[in-house]
């Protein structure tokens, strides 16, 4: 019961922030920070709805991983409020802008390697053909 209550609170919280961010977009126009906040809140809203519907498939995990990554990115950006971390966060933003192409290539490589491990993990599932399937990656892979 408490889990559903927390889910309802998160839904109401998300609707409130979606409303605030859309009013901010109307007032000031599109900004990358505001648009990122709207996307984050909409995805969180969708994730809670999927949780209430009982979804536990790969799409649920993908959306939850994306929400976690964007949540930590928001946390880092919110650290600009403090004087001691504002310079560091601004420095990281400027450095990441200058090496954007490297990040793109690095991200493609990470996604490719993650996809390879995902496929290999699927190979380790016993399909009833014997021990040959498990020999490739072992029983305790991933």
Q: Domain residue spans in the chain? A: 2-82, 99-142
Q: What is the pLDDT of residue 130?
A: 52
Which residue bears the tokens 């310079």?
87
Q: Binning pLDDT at 50, 70 and 90, where does residue 106 land?
A: very high
| Phi, psi dihedral angles at 141 (to 5 degrees) | -75, 135
Q: Which of 19, 33, 42 is nearest to 80 (CA)?
A: 33
pTM: 0.56
Can you tell me the distance from the alpha carbon of 45 to that of 7, in angstroms, rounded to the nearest whole number? Answer: 9
pLDDT digits (tens, 9 = 90+) for 5-47: 888 888 888 888 888 888 888 888 777 777 778 888 888 888 8
Can you tell me the distance from the alpha carbon of 132 to that of 140, in angstroms, rounded to the nearest whole number? Answer: 15
Determine contact, residues 76/36, Cβ cutoff 8 Å: no
Range 71-85 average pLDDT? 85
> Could you tell me what percent of the chain has a pLDDT over 70?
85
């Amino acid at each position: 019961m408490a889990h559903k209550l927390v889910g309802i609170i998160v839904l109401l919280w998300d609707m409130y922030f979606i409303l605030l961010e859309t009013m901010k977009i109307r007032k000031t126009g599109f900004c990358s920070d505001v648009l990122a906040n709207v996307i984050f809140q909409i995805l969180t809203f969708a994730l809670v709805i999927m949780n209430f519907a009982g979804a536990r498939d790969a799409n649920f995990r993908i959306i939850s991983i994306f929400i976690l990554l964007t949540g930590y990115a928001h946390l880092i950006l919110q650290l600009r409020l403090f004087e001691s971390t504002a310079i560091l966060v601004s420095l990281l933003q400027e450095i990441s802008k200058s090496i954007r192409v490297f990040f793109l290539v690095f991200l493609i490589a990470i996604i490719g390697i993650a996809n390879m491990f995902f496929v290999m993990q699927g190979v380790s599932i016993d399909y009833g053909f014997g021990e040959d399937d498990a020999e490739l990656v072992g029983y305790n892979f991933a």
